[in-house]
Structure 1
């Protein structure tokens, strides 16, 4: 006859274990998980440990937040009898790829350490759940996507030892968080919210403002800056600081909420400066010509097809090889050209320039224009900026190519790397370029909201500025012009830099 398994609460070692660590989360991290905490993690552990704690963490990159969450989950599971821990997030796949991976690693560290016996009572399941063996329905950790249906189900669970953790909480729906908060009715219940501080509205934002203990509320607000984390090297910090704009630094590094002025990619003074700086590419530099075209998709009289002609040079987004662009001409902005003849107009504009490249929006009616240009034998870069970025660094930073191109164009304008040399359609250009909305996803990636959403504040499709932004889209390769002699060496240098830029971080 098989020997009956000893349940955790029957194990003579467990009562002493619980007495030692239930009130000592820092000690649990050091002695049980054997992962000495950073000062920021110690602050988190001591804030979470008391009963009825409600803690909200706004965090930058590299602060060890996910590792700390894994430790907290295991502490609550192992130290309290028949405890229930509920994990919720908008992106369950991301939760499984990050937090549950850390939980699995932490369990293995426990298994190899002085309290390895307790790991034998844990069962991790493939569906994003974990339980104490023998207590399938009463002693467990479970994960649910954040929506009203699952929130109501989760809120229906009650218990003396109940903890709710909301990850990437800045984008959790207010109704969901409010419902979950309302489930904490007993003496030893806890709630923990963690996120990058991506939005200036919502429940998570309020936990750091009117709902915080600093303002008489119930929430302990913690801010974890990457600049203060020993887990981020000085070199990595410098690289990130130099590559981010001011709002990205606040959100992704400093754990701070974006400034209200950051709701647009750039402001009117920056846009106006594009008309004031003159030439920024020397005639002796190996620049190339590009013809950029956005095709009207038939959204009405305010939706216009556009052709922009520009000089471009460089392949980076910062440093000496950062892309510079001069808009030399805007020969066409119209809603009165049929797409079936538009390719001829685009090709005609490129005929005046040496070694020209065409970059054309291939969405909607633009696909026909692209096909016609290819039939004419023109070197074409199709713009599909709803697609994700190709380079790893851009995938992590932008939700898609549209956000990447628009953000890099705005950054170039701020840094003096974008100049407009023609006064054609100046008012439209200033209006469009200074009003492009910018938001952040739950993972802190830059996002341009869908057209006609409330963030656009009634602005029509920015077709003219769209075309200019095409010059900054990832992967747009130009051919150095032969208008000036002696370019052979420059062409080689340009090719080397473009290969490094396009493929340097692809793994």
Structure 2
């Protein structure tokens, strides 16, 4: 049996290195066998030089992940005893995206004219790869980034060292600062890639004051989805119409959200809800919702809220986008016991036709849901800490809470949410204009946990929570058999009969 030839002993390797070590674009075309986009070529050109520092803010579909895979394999195969560190705050996501692309690119190499070099590389299931025969000193590894692991990761040293931080905007500043400071040798490189998720932090600074154009050492690249050949025009139009301004900046344009983006909406938008008047016509097929948020016993500032709402439509865009009128707020209190709450809620919905009760089922709310169900009421239980069900919303929002609150705010901005009552107006304005909004590492919208610093000391927004229940993706309604309210209630059948009589009045 012949002895295995190690990579440095292979006579083809040195000519290979001379041709490709300084040129990732050439490596991508001739070794991996792909045709890079303009944005990928810009990325490759930035990372190729020794001691490069590259920061990429990117929208969707720019080929960034596939580009990272090419860079990892290039560094691994072209430099002796090289070490590459891949880091992110979500190891599962790293495996599902970057390592998937690394596997695809490795297979491309194996099937190409330089297939011989692919045989020297072994990809393992633990999100690492290594050069055979040099497993301990020539490898790529993945590490989850947090303050506890920062010093351990910075302990990696070597002449050929590359650090890649994916979704860098969400990584702790201590990690990125430590890693950057540890790259002391001439051929050490660092690459940060991310969508903007906040207007602060190390990644944000590399795109601004630490950039080359501002006297720093970071080459700040910004990749817009509109410049990518991998995203169709129809997809771009659909996403543009679907997203709000901040989402367009973060997820499509590769630029930071606006300074006003820390809240779902501002006071001006909130006040407009009270000036809007009716937005659902009497002859439209609307339904009735009784929206109820149950106090969980967090103290005097935690209250139960009940709202009567007229609703029509579904979704957040197009001619059938949901419209909601808040007609009455019969209750905002912390003085009703949960064991009597169901009766009170039922009484408030008794005069409405085909009403659906949308109830917070967390904590004490589960008892209210059960009591109403025992009364044979149509009940929709709200568990808005759960993830979204629709794929389009899974990609946009951390959970149902973020989905409902964001789409309620969008409806207010679009003129699809109207408040017809002055009940508890000050509380409604104060709460609705102060709901904080941040982004996750995947660019999904999230609402920080109650009590987090982003809330600026505001208590539980129980009243606005109840409003937002009307915009949950899975909340449906039954078309009402009545038009109007109170003394003006008429059945749909009576209305149809009246119209028929008018049509034939001259016959």
TM-score (norm 2): 0.95
5 Å-filtered alignment, 1:59-78, equals 59-78=58-77
Q: Which residue of 2 aligns with 1:269?
A: 268
Q: Which residue of 1 aligns with 2:416?
A: 417
1:149 Cα deviation (Å)? 3.2
1:150 Cα deviation (Å)? 2.5
Q: Which residue of 2 aligns with 1:494?
A: none
Instruction: Give the whole-Å Cα distance in 2 for the aligned partners of 1:282 and 1:214.
Output: 56
Q: Any idea what the Cα deviations from partners look like across 1:435-458, whole Å, max 9, x if unmatched?
A: 100000010000000011110001
Instruction: Give the whole-Å Cα distance in 1 for the aligned partners of 2:238 and 2:108.
Output: 32
Instruction: Give the whole-Å Cα distance in 2 for the aligned partners of 1:147 and 1:234.
Output: 38
Q: Any idea what the Cα deviations from partners look like across 1:74-121, whole Å, max 9, x if unmatched?
A: 000001011000000000000000000000000000111111111001
Q: Any idea what the Cα deviations from partners look like across 1:54-79, whole Å, max 9, x if unmatched?
A: 10000000000000000000000001
* Structure 2 residue 372 is the aligned partner of structure 1 residue 373: yes
Does structure 1 retain, via aligned residues, the 8 Å contact 2:356–2:478?
Answer: yes
5 Å-filtered alignment, 1:473-488, equals 473-484=472-483
Instruction: Give the whole-Å Cα distance in 2 for the aligned partners of 1:387 and 1:442.
Output: 18
Q: Which residue of 1 aligns with 2:389?
A: 390
Q: Which residue of 2 aligns with 1:156?
A: 155
My pick for the range that moved more, 441-450 or 360-369, is 360-369
5 Å-filtered alignment, 1:241-252, equals 241-252=240-251
Q: Any idea what the Cα deviations from partners look like across 1:315-334, whole Å, max 9, x if unmatched?
A: 12100110000001000111
Q: Which residue of 1 aligns with 2:193?
A: 194
5 Å-filtered alignment, 1:339-354, equals 339-354=338-353
Which consecutive segments of 4 or more residues in structure 1 shift more than 4 A? 484-487
My pick for the range that moved more, 435-444 or 360-369, is 360-369
Instruction: Give the whole-Å Cα distance in 1 for the aligned partners of 2:178 and 2:371.
Output: 55
Q: Which residue of 1 aligns with 2:169?
A: 170
Task: Give 5+ residue unaligned stretches, structure 1.
Answer: 491-507
* Structure 2 residue 40 is the aligned partner of structure 1 residue 41: yes
1:412 Cα deviation (Å)? 0.3
Instruction: Give the whole-Å Cα distance in 1 for the aligned partners of 2:16 and 2:366.
Output: 66
Q: Any idea what the Cα deviations from partners look like across 1:22-52, whole Å, max 9, x if unmatched?
A: 0111100111011111111111100000000
Q: Which residue of 1 aligns with 2:81?
A: 82
1:214 Cα deviation (Å)? 1.4
Does structure 1 retain, via aligned residues, the 8 Å contact 2:59–2:251?
Answer: yes
Q: Which residue of 2 aligns with 1:282?
A: 281
**SS in structure 2 opposite 1:240?**
helix
Q: Which residue of 2 aligns with 1:363?
A: 362
1:266 Cα deviation (Å)? 0.4
Instruction: Give the whole-Å Cα distance in 2 for the aligned partners of 1:151 and 1:430.
Output: 43
Instruction: Give the whole-Å Cα distance in 2 for the aligned partners of 1:11 and 1:154.
Output: 32
Instruction: Give the whole-Å Cα distance in 2 for the aligned partners of 1:156 and 1:300.
Output: 48
Q: Any idea what the Cα deviations from partners look like across 1:434-490, whole Å, max 9, x if unmatched?
A: 110000001000000001111000111110000000000011010000115558xx9
* Structure 2 residue 21 is the aligned partner of structure 1 residue 22: yes
**SS in structure 1 opposite 2:182?**
coil
Q: Which residue of 2 aligns with 1:467?
A: 466
* Structure 2 residue 94 is the aligned partner of structure 1 residue 99: no
**SS in structure 2 opposite 1:78?**
helix
* Structure 2 residue 475 is the aligned partner of structure 1 residue 441: no
**SS in structure 2 opposite 1:443?**
coil
Instruction: Give the whole-Å Cα distance in 1 for the aligned partners of 2:372 and 2:181.
Output: 60
**SS in structure 1 opposite 2:332?**
strand
Instruction: Give the whole-Å Cα distance in 1 for the aligned partners of 2:371 and 2:315.
Output: 31
**SS in structure 1 opposite 2:306?**
strand
5 Å-filtered alignment, 1:100-139, equals 100-139=99-138
Figure out how many residues of one structure are paired with residues of the other and give that number: 488
1:205 Cα deviation (Å)? 0.6
Q: Which residue of 2 aligns with 1:31?
A: 30
Q: Any idea what the Cα deviations from partners look like across 1:290-316, whole Å, max 9, x if unmatched?
A: 000001111111111000000000112
Q: Any idea what the Cα deviations from partners look like across 1:272-306, whole Å, max 9, x if unmatched?
A: 11111111111111100000000111111111100
Instruction: Give the whole-Å Cα distance in 1 for the aligned partners of 2:86 and 2:134.
Output: 18
1:177 Cα deviation (Å)? 0.9
Instruction: Give the whole-Å Cα distance in 2 for the aligned partners of 1:227 and 1:238.
Output: 10
Q: Which residue of 2 aligns with 1:495?
A: none
Instruction: Give the whole-Å Cα distance in 1 for the aligned partners of 2:225 and 2:388.
Output: 25
Does structure 1 retain, via aligned residues, the 8 Å contact 2:161–2:189?
Answer: yes
Instruction: Give the whole-Å Cα distance in 2 for the aligned partners of 1:156 and 1:30.
Output: 34
**SS in structure 2 opposite 1:472?**
coil
Task: Give 5+ residue unaligned stretches, structure 2.
Answer: 484-490, 497-507
My pick for the range that moved more, 399-408 or 314-323, is 314-323
Instruction: Give the whole-Å Cα distance in 1 for the aligned partners of 2:150 and 2:302.
Output: 42
1:148 Cα deviation (Å)? 2.7
**SS in structure 2 opposite 1:275?**
helix
TM-score (norm 1): 0.95
Does structure 1 retain, via aligned residues, the 8 Å contact 2:265–2:435?
Answer: yes
C-alpha RMSD of the superposition: 1.2
- Larger CA Rg, structure 1 vs 2: 2
* Structure 2 residue 144 is the aligned partner of structure 1 residue 145: yes
Q: Any idea what the Cα deviations from partners look like across 1:351-386, whole Å, max 9, x if unmatched?
A: 010000000001111111111111111110000000
